[in-house]
Amino acid sequence: PPGKHFMSCFVQYAPPKIDGRDWTDADRDGFAESVISQIAQYSPGFRDRIVHMEVRTPREIEAEVGLTEGNIFQGDLTFDQLLFNRPVPGYAQYSSPVGGLYMCGSSTHPGGGVMGAPGRNAAAEILRDLAKPTLHMSPAHDVI
């Protein structure tokens, strides 16, 4: 409506479970309050301007868009899930055991925190493979 604005607030991490249990309405409200309080420190009057608010828990994000535990990074960004271990050891260079099938996205290096980088890296790997004379693809599957 005139004189109103829309704001979307993305919080990079929210635990899929709290103390081993699913989120409750009180957890959701407390989480929202924590985020609002942080923003209000830098934007006086912010809290008073909120007309409507929706908060999605990790489980709801999973149900709505299929991200396991609502994790946009498709796996924890911990040492055992980074670099040569992303997505799994042995498959960190974007190619897969299936010839001509490549992986990209948040589950591959460097993860979802670097927008577009996994796709760029996968494209570079594909271009390298296309330049190799040993690439075994039938003409029907050639990439143009």
Q: What are phi and psi of 18, to 5 degrees?
A: -115, 120
pTM of the full structure: 0.66
2-59 per-position pLDDT tens digit: 888 899 988 888 899 999 999 999 999 999 999 999 999 999 999 999 999 999 999 9
pLDDT of 95 > 60? The answer is yes
pLDDT of residue 82: 78
Short-list 61, 63, 65, 48, CA closest to 15: 61
CB 62 within 8 A of CB 72: no
Phi-psi region at 124: left, alpha or beta (left = phi > 0; alpha = psi -120 to 50): alpha
- Structural domain boundaries in the chain: 1-70, 79-141
Beta carbons within 8 Å of 125's beta carbon, 6+ residues apart: 93, 94, 95, 102
pLDDT of 92 > 60? The answer is yes
How many angstroms from the chain centroid is the CA of residue 84?
19
